[in-house]
Amino acid sequence: MSSDSGRDRTRACVYCNKSKTRCTWPGEPGVGNCHRCGRLGRTCGLPEQRERRRRGPSTRVGQLEQKIDGIMSLLNASRQVQQPSPGSSSSQPSEGSSQTPGLYPVDIGRHPRPPSPLRAGAMLGTLARAMNPFMQIDIIPGFQISLEQAHGLLELYRTSYSPLFPFIPIPEHMSACDLLDDKPFLFRTIMQVVAPQSPAVQRNFSRWFRLYIAEHVVVNLEKRVELLQAIILFVAWGDSHFYIECPVTSLLQIAVGLMADLGLNKVPKIPGHAPETIIDEAKRMKGILRAKAPHTLEDRRAFLACYYVSSLASVLFRHVPSVPFYCGYTEVCCDMLEREMEYESDGSLVALIRMQHVLTRINEVLPNPETDDNNETCGVSLPMRMAMSTIRSELERARSLVPTSIQSKWFFKVAYHGTLVRLYEPAIHMRPSPGGSSDIGERGRRLEALWCCLDAAKAFFDAYASIPAEEGAYLPLSTFSWLSFVVITATRFLFINDSDWNPQVVCKAIDFVGITHQLSELCDQADRVAMTQEAERKRKFIDDNRTVMSMHRDKLRWIGSWCQSKLVPADEPQPPVADIEARELDAVPNFWQQWDLDGEWWQGVMDDSNFGQQQQMRNPTTGLP
C-alpha cells in the first residue's frame, strides 16, 4: 500500500525529472511511456524511490556535550596510563619555568604540541570559551577582549584589512577560538592591529611583541611560519609613521632569516632527486637528511609577504640591503596562487608581487644615488635610456596581465604610478656631461625622463586622493611608504639646480602646493572619521595626545608652506609659513631654523622626531631637554 502511494506521488519520469520539464502520462504513471518520451522515442520509467532519513534533534549544545564527554574519557585514560611511580620525583622543573626574565607572563601556547592530556585540556578550554562568549582573553597584561569581541574583530580584519594587505588571510570557517588555539601569537597580533586600545597599550604591546620574538626566535631558536606571519603583519600594520624606522628594520631582518631557515624561498628538496649541497651531503652521511613536506599555499603567501615588505623598504628608501628574493620559484608561487584562487584576494596579491618584481629590477639595473659615486657626473646615456624603456615595457606587460577589476582599485594604481616614479627618479640625480654638441641628445633624454617622472607623480597623487576618507586612517605601511617617497621626489623637482630645468614651468605643470593641501585635508578627514570609530577599531597614536594621521596632516601642510615660501620670486615679499599647530611648534626653540634643503632636512621630514619624539625627549613640565 505504501509503495502504491509512493508511485502516486511520483509523477515525473526519470528523463523529465532530470531535465526539470513537465511530465504527463497517458494513463497510470509508470505504465508505458509519458507523452514527451513517446514523442522522442525513448523508453522511460519512474525514478527509484528512496527513503528519506529523518534528522535527529541534535543541537549545538548536544554536539559540545559529546565532545566534552570524549575529552573527559581521554583525560581519565591518560591519567591511568601515566600514573607516577612512588619513587618518582615531583620537583621536575616545568616547561614554562625557563621563561626569559622580563617577559610578560602571557601563556600563548607552545609548539610542537604538548602530550595528549595537555592537548586535551587545551581543547576543553577552547570548548569552554565557545560556550561562554563573554569570557575574557588576555592579549597582554592590561589589554583584554571578550570572545564575542574577538569574533567581530576577526571578521573586521577579513573584510577591511586583509584586502589591502592580502598576504595573511584568515579562512572564513576559522573562528576566533580556532585561531587562538591553533596560532595564539598570530591571533594576538591581529587583535592588536584591529582592536581599539589606548596609546599606552599600543606602546606596551610593541615592547611585548619584540620581547616575545627575542625569546622565541633568538633565544629558543624556534622556526614557525606563524612567527614569520606575525612579524610581517606587525610591520605592515604597525605604528611606523612616515618612514621605515630602525626597529622595523631589525624585525625585517629577523623575518628574512626565518624565511630562509624555513626554506620557503625555494622548492623543497627530495633526497636523491636534486643535486646535493655540502650541507645536504653532511646531513645524509649523518642520517639526518629528511625530505621536506611540499609548501602549502599559506607557506607561499608568507614567503611572498616577506619578499614584498623587505624589497619595498630596500628599493624606496635604500634603508636595508637588497636581498635577491625574486627567482623562478617566486613566479611558481604566483602561478599556483593564481590557479588555485583559494581566496578572492589572491588575485591582488599576485598583481602586487609582479609589480614588485619590476620595482626590484629597477633597483638592480639603474644607478643608486646613495651607492654610486659617479651619479652626479653621468647622464642618461643611450644604454641607460634603453634600460628604462625595457623596464617600462616589462611594467606595462605585467599590468596587462592584471584583471581590470583589480586595475581599477586605488591600491593598484598607487603601486603602478609609484613604480613609474621610481623608474625615472634616478634622472634627478644625474647631470649631463659638460660642453660639446654631442651632449644635446643626452640632455634631451634626461629631460624626457624627468618629465615622465613628473607625469607619473601627478597620476600618483590623483590615485592617492581617490582613497576614501573611511579607509585613510587604516592603511598599511606600504601605502604610506609610497606617499613619502613620491612627496620627496616631487619636491626635488622644484629645486633642481640645472640650466636645462625651469622651475617656473614645473610649477605650472604641477601644483605641488595645492597637492599637499589636498592630501593634508584627506589626512584630516581620515583622522576625524577614525575619531568617530575609536570605540570600534584601533586608532594609531604617536603619543598620548597625537595621532599618526594628524602628524601626516601637519607634515604635508608644512612641506607645502615651505615650498610656497621658497618659490616666491625674489622681488615679491615672502608670505609667512602657515601656522600649523603653533602652540606645539613654539615649544621647540628655533624650530623653523632647523629646516634646510639638504639631506638632514629631508631626513627630518621623513623621521618622526620633528613633531613627536622631540617633544617626548623634553621635560613635560619645563619643555627643556
pLDDT band at residue 158 using 50, 70 and 90 as cut-offs: very high
| Per-residue pLDDT at 106 exceeds 70 | no
What is the Cα–Cα distance from 284 to 275, expressed in whole angstroms?
12
pLDDT class for 30, splitting at 50, 70, 90? confident
Grid cell, residue 407, equals: 586595475
pLDDT band at 119 (very low <50, low <70, confident <90, very high): very low
Most confident of 45-49, 108-112, 619-623: 45-49
**In what helix (H) or strand (E) does residue 126 lie, and over which residues does it extend?**
helix 116-131
Of 46-55, 97-106, 141-150, 415-424, which range is least confident? 97-106
| Residue 599, pLDDT above cutoff 60 | no
Instruction: Report the run of H or E that residue 581 belongs to, with start and end.
Output: none
How many residues are there in the chain?
Answer: 625
pLDDT of residue 560: 87
The amino acid sitting at 336 is: M
State the angle between helix axes of 297-317 and 225-236 in degrees (0 to 180), rounded to the nearest 10.
Answer: 40
Q: H helices within 401-494, ranges in order? A: 404-407, 410-424, 426-429, 439-465, 469-472, 477-493
In the chain, pLDDT over 90 holds for what percent of residues?
A: 36
% the chain with pLDDT above 70: 66
- Give me the pLDDT at residue 55, please: 56
Cα–Cα distances in angstroms (integers) from residue 119 to residues 52, 125, 139, 183, in the given order: 39, 10, 21, 14
pLDDT attached to residue 363: 83
pLDDT computed for residue 3 by the predictor: 46
If you average pLDDT over residues 38-42, what whole number do you get?
82
Beta bridge partners of 137: 145
pLDDT score recorded for residue 344: 92
Q: Which of 34-38, 118-122, 163-167, 551-555 has the highest mean pLDDT?
A: 163-167
Q: How many other C-beta atoms are found inside a 10 Å radius of the C-beta of residue 206?
A: 15
Which range is most confident: 110-119, 341-350, 497-506? 341-350
Reply yes or no on whether the pLDDT at 531 is more than 60. Answer: yes
Per-residue pLDDT at 366: 83
The yes-or-no verdict on residue 422 having pLDDT over 90 is: yes
pLDDT in tens, 43-86: 888 887 766 666 555 566 666 677 677 677 666 665 554 554 44
Query: Can you tell me the mean pLDDT for 137-142?
Result: 90
Please tell me the distance from the alpha carbon of residue 199 to that of residue 204, in angstroms, as a whole number: 9
Domain-wise residue ranges, the chain: 2-40
- Provide the pLDDT confidence category of residue 441 given band limits of 50, 70 and 90: confident
